[in-house]
Amino acid sequence: MPSKRYKKATETVDANKSYSLKSAVEILLRFPKAKFDETIEVAFRLGVDPKQSDQMVRGTVPLPHGSGKKVRVLVFAKAGVAADAARSAGAEYVGFDDLIKKCQEGWADFDVAVATPDAMGEVRKLGKVLGPRGLMPNPKTGTVTEDTAKAVKEVKAGRVEFKIDKAGNVHVPIGKLSFKADQILENAKSVIDAVQKARPASVKGQFIQNCTLAATMSPPVRLDLRELQIAA
């Protein structure tokens, strides 16, 4: 049963209309607020077949104004320079055998996992545990690297990952409702541009078929694809 706040918000937006990104942000900020700082998300419906390996859509994008979220980072690294650098950069958890054992036992109290290339031989064994939670380190997202300090700093500064789901959708958090309008706007533009650039070469026709902006407790606001210059 929708709350009174949600019902009031739906009266502010026309579900059958597409809005410019600027207008969508303004509408979002006019919605009745929840009792917590809601996360804002851009959602895409893509014209791809997720079952085809050559149509995988995945990547990372730095948000100009950060995500507004405190990101807890775990780094799988053997004792040495990479481990020390990760600690100095602010990683919450750094280790190797001890952390692998904890994860095998079901622990996953972190948001992003980074690993050095030489640690991946053992970390790959955690695929069934970390994979379904979207926590598996991956070279394509910059989370398998010797430069652990750089990876930790980028993630904490607001670099977010995106990946297509089984239904052909991508959901990307872009900030908090407490952000200023121009901050939300610039973060959203960065994400939309990154997803467009991640278009697989094998995809024909319209790549981004639908795009919406929403907060945790709000109805979605549909964006005008023509205004965003999203074409086939």
Q: What is the pLDDT of residue 231?
A: 42
Q: What is the pTM of this model?
A: 0.77
Tell me the domains of the chain and their CATH numbers: 4-66+159-222 (3.30.190.20), 73-156 (3.40.50.790)
Q: What is the pLDDT of residue 135?
A: 93
Give per-residue pLDDT as tens, 71-130.
999 999 999 999 999 999 999 999 999 999 999 999 999 999 999 999 999 999 999 999
Q: What is the pLDDT of residue 63?
A: 93
Q: What is the pLDDT of residue 140?
A: 82
**Which region, left, alpha or beta, applies to residue 158 given φ > 0 means left and ψ of -120 to 50 means alpha?**
left
In which residue ranges of the chain is pLDDT below 50? 231-232
Q: What is the pLDDT of residue 232?
A: 39
Q: What is the pLDDT of residue 6?
A: 80
Q: What is the pLDDT of residue 4?
A: 80
